[in-house]
Chains A and B, each alone.
Chain A
Amino acid sequence: MEDAALFEEFRIEAQEHLTRVADGLVRLERCEGAVLIEEVNGLFRALHSIKGSAGFLGLRNVELVAHAAETLLDRVRKGQQQVSTSLIDLLLQVNDRLIALVEDLEASNSADVSSILDRLKQALESNPSAIPEAPKPESTHQALPTLIQPAGQDEKDPGSHHHLLLDPDRGRTIRIPVAVADRLMTLASELVLVRNQALKRLEPRDAAERELVQRLSTVTSDIQRTVTSTRMQPVGTLFQRFPRVVREISRQLGKTIDLVLQGTEVELDKGVIERLADPLTHLIRNACDHGIESPAARLKAGKQAMGTVKLIALHEGSLIHVIVEDDGGGIDPAKVGRKAVERGLLAEDERASMTASRLQSLILRPGFSTAEVVTDLSGRGVGLDVVQSNIEAIGGSLQIESELGQGTKFHLRLPLTLAIIPCLVVEAGEHRLCVPQRDIKELVLLDGTAKARLEMGHDRQVFRLRDQLIPVVALAELLGSPVVESDAPRFLAVVRGGSGCLGLVIDAIRNPEEIVVKPLHAALESLDIFAGSTVMGDGQVSLILDMEGVAREAGIGHASAAVVAQPLAKVEEVTLVLLFEDGAGARYAIPLDAIRRVVRFKAADVQYVTGRAGIRLPDGIWTMRRLEDVVAGVAPVPIPDAGYLLLPKATSGDLLGLVLAELIDTALAPKVLQPVIPAQVGVMGVAEVCDKLTLFLDPAVLLGSVEGGR
């Protein structure tokens, strides 16, 4: 029993040392002089400490390998051995071997370490001045005097191998099982709950009592904050593996790449860090492989031969930003666009209307890879779409910013913690449930009007969301609540699920709440409609819906997903429009190709002639018309103090501009519009754009041909 505990202590200790060694080895190549000696000393001490403890515990193989590596490093330190790439390679391999041995200590003594020892021996013999002595127990002591550091340095006593369990580092950290940390977290949340309930009941009678209650409250909050912080880890623990990754890749590719790490002290939930490892590795490889150009190409472009990849972590509000930035060739939107059309991801006319940044983000689509040559590093079929879905799975998002010739920036936004997710609390029948916000695409109020009602499609209720047909699930029925006929307006939550979208009918929306996810009781695991459970602010348990499970339960699988996909697959007839508002909240759209330009004006620019407003522009005096002048039934809005004047492309001789109170955006909108009933002069139809009902102006109004239509 005691041995097992000692082994475990050693394993953890050694793993920490070995991580530091791997880190240090990569740095070794870049430093020289005193800094180099300092680095080597650090590595030496780490290996020395492992060797000492391994000897103490009778782990012969670990001791032998560590000793040989230590001897080699000692010679570097004494200037008897040059730091070369092959030396560092060898030492990295030694480190890998040690990591493997430490991983399974019980089996380590029976492992075959002869090949790595032979190679170490060769390295030592290549310089005939010294041959490593066999690791005798005394040898560790002989090494001691040279190791003693000047006072004040933050280094361990090198003799610490005898006092493994008294390592000074151990005074600063303790290890506790994750289960205990989780339990503490639960109890802290419960304490907050009890505090909240107590605060409601307690009525302090005097200042002294008030202060007491106040203190209880503050201490409770502090406890919760502190306990939560135990789950946090600096991202540095993840970042430190990348220098080595970059080093290896750049050598394979024949590039020189410098990796700059920033913000390694930023803290993230352990769970997030663990699940960030793969996507981040992929992005770094991607930056080295596709981002950074070959040295020749870089020199030709007037850049330094050495490329730089930056890995930056920042904490901002409740989000952590992780940025992978390279100073490489950037993403060529034209090339991406061509590829996307080739692969059938994009229609030709769609491509023409897309902005550069939208074209660039196409590389995140499944089935996309721009690598001209499929290398062994990236382009192995695992695309950036997988990275994106991995990031989204932990509640984050991925964005690309790229400037052709300047470089590319992958911008990750991540939640601080996995354990707490924002949810929407909803009611269905007699049940109160949580729907994770990340699953919700939009909410529709079902008020029974033509635009917002459910229809029957064969045997299933469907909802027409713009031009997409989505299957509908009545949540209360699905959960087995009795069907209640009611006229009360209900809601439709459009959620991701069942390889597409899914409409969830809910009776009421309560409030958004940040919840701590707890796994569902093991005995209920077969209920896949729930992703977990949680304790709500009122102390009651609530269940968290799993949309994939809900879709399965409702029988919405691939078959109906095809029905959903069909109207989507057809490339929509779309047109680019300018969205604006009239100052009273109503939204309008006008096709972009009908617009010459839009100018900004201030009240001072406006001149009035016989009741008409006009503005002098370089190409003449434009008459300013308001929306109510051209569209029937629009409430009059005075010309704003500052606004925009839309100048149409075609004019019928007179220069007529349209006053826009507020510009919103440009957007893709369907060409096919729904008619407005009753018909309205100046309005072609209506459609939903960017989730808002938008009236489409007839471009003819800009010509003045419908002037006086009211």
Chain B
Amino acid sequence: MTATSQHVCTFRLDGHLYGFDLAMVREVHPPAPWVVVPKAPPEVHGLVNLRGRIHLILDLRQMLNLKSLAPSADHLFILFREVAGESFGIVVDAIGEILSIDGKDLEWKETERNPKSSKLIDGVLTHGEEILTLLRANALLGALSHNRVKQGAGS
């Protein structure tokens, strides 16, 4: 559901412009050393300790099927409010401006070919020359694949 007017926190990932409803975003955090979680779904970037609370950081590239580049050197974490799920965030390449958009601007997406990422996409709109994809923060944790991927050869 999209309100007639909302604020959107935009960010960049692999050169694309994305945005989350600002009401879902708690803060943008500078990078912190993270710990890889073995056996976790590939969308899990790792765990970080931010002010004594352990946060799960997701790799949105994996979730959106983007080219899986390593995060940029000056990457940032976007952390979400509790309404979106328990202490978690995502890695982004760069943070953009806060936009105020009108519900009318939304050009609703075509059915995505990838059912996994389509659940995450709220809508698409144009912002100047660019395409801004609005994402649903509260759908992120639910989109984690729980079929564990076995890595490496075991013998």
Contact = CB atoms under 8 A, between A and B. Distances in A.
B39 interface: yes
Given A523-B141, A535-B49, A541-B47, A480 B87 contact: no
Interface stretch (B52-60, B103-111, B118-126): B52-60
A533 B48 CA distance: 11
B39 A190 contact: no
Which interface class (under 10, 10 to 19, 20 to 34, 35 or more) fits A? Answer: 20 to 34
A524 B46 CA distance: 11
B144 A543 contact: no
A302 interface: no
A432 B35 CA distance: 9
A605 B119 CA distance: 90
A191 B52 CA distance: 8
A480 B39 contact: yes
B153 interface: yes
B111 to A, nearest CB: 26
Contact of B53 (A186, A482, A522, A530): A186
B21 to A, nearest CB: 20
Given A477-B154, A523-B88, A190 B52 contact: yes
A545 B155 CA distance: 21
B51 A540 contact: no
A479 interface: yes
A539 B47 CA distance: 12
Given A480-B151, A483-B153, A535-B52, A521 B47 contact: yes
B36 A539 contact: no
B154 A478 contact: yes
B54 A533 contact: yes
Contacts of B46: 541
B33 interface: yes
A521 B87 contact: yes
A479 B52 contact: no
A529 interface: yes
A430 B153 contact: no
Interface of B is mostly: loop
B52 A482 contact: no
A527 interface: yes
Of A481, A521, A543, which is in contact with the most chain B CB atoms at under 10 Å from its CB? A521
Nearest to A190: B52
Contacts of A527: 37, 39-40, 148
Interface in A517-563: 518, 521-524, 526-527, 529-530, 533, 535, 539-543, 553
B35 A540 contact: yes
Interface residues of B, number: 33
Contact of B36 (A431, A518, A530): A431
Interface in A476-496: 477-483
A430 B46 CA distance: 14
Contact of A542 (B35, B88, B152): B35
A187 B52 contact: yes
Contacts of B52: 186-187, 189-191, 193, 535
Interface string A687-705: 0000000000000000000
A478 B88 CA distance: 26
B150 interface: yes
Contact of B40 (A187, A477, A524, A539): A524
Contacts of A518: 54
A191 to B, nearest CB: 8
A572 B111 CA distance: 69
Contact of B33 (A186, A191, A481, A540): A540
B87 A523 contact: no
Nearest to B48: A541
Contacts of A483: 152-153
B9 interface: no
A193 B51 CA distance: 10
A596 B89 CA distance: 73
Contacts of B150: 480
Interface in B15-61: 33-40, 44, 46-49, 51-56
Interface in B111-143: 141
Nearest to B46: A541
Of A191, A480, A482, A483, which is in contact with the most chain B CB atoms at under 10 Å from its CB? A480
Contacts of B152: 477, 480-483
Of B52, B54, B56, B144, which is in contact with the most chain A CB atoms at under 10 Å from its CB? B52
Nearest to A191: B52
A540 B144 contact: no
A145 to B, nearest CB: 54
A607 B29 CA distance: 81
14 contacts: A186-B52, A479-B38, A479-B39, A483-B152, A521-B54, A522-B86, A523-B44, A523-B144, A524-B56, A527-B148, A529-B38, A533-B54, A541-B35, A543-B37
Given A186-B53, A523-B56, A543-B38, 14 more contacts: A189-B52, A191-B52, A432-B35, A477-B152, A479-B39, A521-B88, A523-B44, A524-B56, A529-B38, A535-B52, A535-B54, A543-B35, A543-B37, A553-B39
Task: Sort A-B residue pairs by CB-CB distance and give the 6 closest, nearest first.
Answer: A190-B52, A480-B151, A479-B38, A521-B56, A541-B47, A186-B52
